[in-house]
Amino acid sequence: METGIEFIPSGGVTSPAGFSAGATGAGIKNNGEAILDLGILRSDVSCDAAAVFTTNKVKAAPVILNRQRLERGRATAVIMNSGCANACNGERGLADAAEMAELAARYIGIAPDDVLVASTGVIGPCLPMERIRAAIPDITLSAEGGHEVARAIMTTDTVPKETAVKSSGGFVIGGMAKGSGMIHPDMATMLCFLTTDAQVDRAFLGAALKSAVDVTFNMISVDGDTSTNDMVLLMANGHAGSETITTGSAGAEAFQQALDEVCRYLARAIAADAEGATKRIEVTVGSAASSADARLAARTIVNSPLVKSAVHGSDPNWGRVLAAAGRSGAALEQDRLDLSIGGIQVVKNGCPVAFDEREVVKALDGRDVTIVLDLNAGNAIATAWGCDLSEEYVTINSEYTT
Catalytic residues: 189
Could you tell me which residues come within 8 angstroms of residue 233 by beta carbon, excluding any fewer than 6 positions away? 49, 50, 51, 66, 75, 78, 116, 118, 192, 193, 194
**Total residues found in the chain within this entry:** 402
> In this structure, which amino acid lies at residue 187?
M
Q: What are phi and psi of 375, to 5 degrees?
A: -85, -20
Q: Could you tell me which of 272, 248, 17 has the C-alpha nearest to residue 159?
A: 272
CB atoms within 10 A of CB 228: 22
Q: Could you tell me which of 274, 277, 276, 279 has the C-alpha nearest to residue 366?
A: 279
Q: Could you tell me which of 32, 57, 354, 80 has the C-alpha nearest to residue 190?
A: 80
